[in-house]
Amino acid sequence: MADEPIVVGIDIGTTKVCTLVARVEGANNLRILGVGIEPSQGIRKGNIVDLQAASQAIGRSIEKAERTSGMEITSALISLAGSHVSSVNSRGVVGISGRAIDQEDVFRALDAAQAVAIPHNREIIHVIQRGFVVDGQDGIRLPVGMHGYRLEVEAHIITAGAATVENLRQSVQASGVQASHFVLNPLASAEVVLSDTERQMGAVVCDIGGGTTDMAIYIDGDIWHTMVLGIGGNHITSDIAHGLRLSISQAEEVKKQYGHALQEEIDERDSFSTRIFGEENPVEIRRKDLSMIIEARVEEIFDLVLQEIKRSGYDGLLPAGVVLTGGASQLPGLRTLASQVLGLPVRVAKPENLLGLADQLYSPAYSTSVGLLYWAMMMSEAAPAAGGGRRSHRKGGNPTLDTIKNWLKRLLP
């Protein structure tokens, strides 16, 4: 089935770059054809700090994915995170003069919503419609076809530092790849880990990576709020390195092998041996001491997450709780601690149900990477949407006109 669309995503993370090539098969399946996972370089907290090193790491990842898939990559969706990302809610208003509202009016309203004062050093990444008001009547999900005089859209606008975006663009361009669109990390992850029920009820996606914790709040099926915190699993590692006098790579090893986020779960007598700086022989380290260090940092991360949720003003609207993902969410005990600190139900999720070369990808570390493919799939399907044939990759997702519009809106600008 050669004409089934090929989708490509490049997840540029703080610890790894992951390029994936997949074919969209049947109704909504992704067959992974190419995988290129490489350690990151020159990227800190979602920002490029060394363009050459970053371009090289990205280049190696692209090359690997090209080799495994046997395909040349010319354009791809790119993940975006970092402290340079911010979001505002805005309202766009247009006049209709009593006739039926059409899609063009919706686009005009979204355009008007983008007319908020956005500094020239910022680039708009997503314009997400959250609901419509027609002649003062709010809570309208799909205004097309309705009659009215005044159409208002409530939009969530995500902007990023223009220079950072340009650096990312250049770093993939160096390998001959065009960045077709950027997708904010948590919005990519959400496509993988959030169920339709959760996004209807109200839930937070929280992707804890190496250098960033990326969050998105979904309510009534839509994205209502997004946040990026400059803290992640690497901070846990460096605490361990400082606290136990280990090198960063040793600390990383120890964290993955013996780490636990809840001291109280660890037996006093439980220990392991490792080499530390300035000591000839390996020394015994109590796992309780290790987990004490980890617990303090993880608690701090979730304190910040809680603060952000409260600051958003939606803290009372999240009965489905928090869905954790990202490499650091694999730490034992983290889910329980998160639930204690946040006072919400918490689960950990990862990609599932892929075809092809997917074994490596069934880890929370690849939710963003796989999520980019779902976005690419939605985008490749969006173009011929008028002719029908749209589909949802989510379970039970029959394509209603509403979902089609939902997808369309995410393509903007």
Task: Using CB under 5 A, list all residues that contact Mg ion.
Answer: 13, 209, 368
Of 326, 333, 356, 371, the residue at the interface with ligand ATP (CB under 6 A) is 326
Of 9, 36, 46, 148, the residue at the interface with ligand ATP (CB under 6 A) is 46
Of 234, 250, 312, 403, the residue at the interface with ligand ATP (CB under 6 A) is 234
Establish whether the linkage from the previous residue to 413 is cis, with ω within 30° of 0.
Answer: yes
Neighbours of 119 (CB within 10 A): 8
Q: Is 129 in the site for ligand ATP (CB under 6 A)?
A: no
Of 171, 330, 392, 406, the residue at the interface with ligand ATP (CB under 6 A) is 330
Of 67, 99, 256, 310, the residue at the interface with ligand ATP (CB under 6 A) is 256
Supply the DSSP string of 35-72, one letter for each residue: EEEEE--SEETTEES-HHHHHHHHHHHHHHHHHHHT--
Residue pair 300/275 in contact by the 8 Å Cβ criterion: no
**Of ligand ATP, Mg ion, none, which one sits near residue 311, judging by CB under 5 to 8 A according to partner kind?**
none
Q: 30: which strand partners?
A: 24
Q: By C-beta, is 151 or 349 nearer to ligand ATP?
A: 349
Q: Is 333 in the site for ligand ATP (CB under 6 A)?
A: no
Q: Is 164 in the site for ligand ATP (CB under 6 A)?
A: no
- For tokens 């650096």, the residue is 167
Residue ranges in 235-254 that form contacts with ligand ATP under rule CB under 6 A: 237, 252
Residues 6+ apart with CB under 8 A from 60: 17, 36, 38
- Phi then psi for residue 127, to 5 deg, are -120, 110
H-helix or E-strand spanning residue 381: helix 367-382
Q: Is 14 in the site for ligand ATP (CB under 6 A)?
A: yes
CB of 380 to ligand ATP, least distance (A): 24
Residue ranges in 174-213 that form contacts with ligand ATP under rule CB under 6 A: 185, 209-212
Selection from 179, 132, 128, 185 nearest residue 158 by Cα:
128
Which region among 28-36, 89-97, 169-177, 255-263 touches ligand ATP (by CB under 6 A)?
255-263
Q: By C-beta, is 13 or 92 nearer to ligand ATP?
A: 13
* CA dist 387 → 236, 347, 384 (Å): 50, 38, 6
Residue pair 263/278 in contact by the 8 Å Cβ criterion: no
CA dihedral 36, 42, 46, 47 (to 10 degrees): -140
Q: Is 47 in the site for ligand ATP (CB under 6 A)?
A: no
CB of 236 to ligand ATP, least distance (A): 7
Size of the site for ligand ATP (CB under 6 A): 25
Q: Using CB under 6 A, list all residues that contact ligand ATP.
A: 13-16, 46, 81, 185, 209-212, 232-234, 237, 252, 255-256, 259, 326-328, 330-331, 365
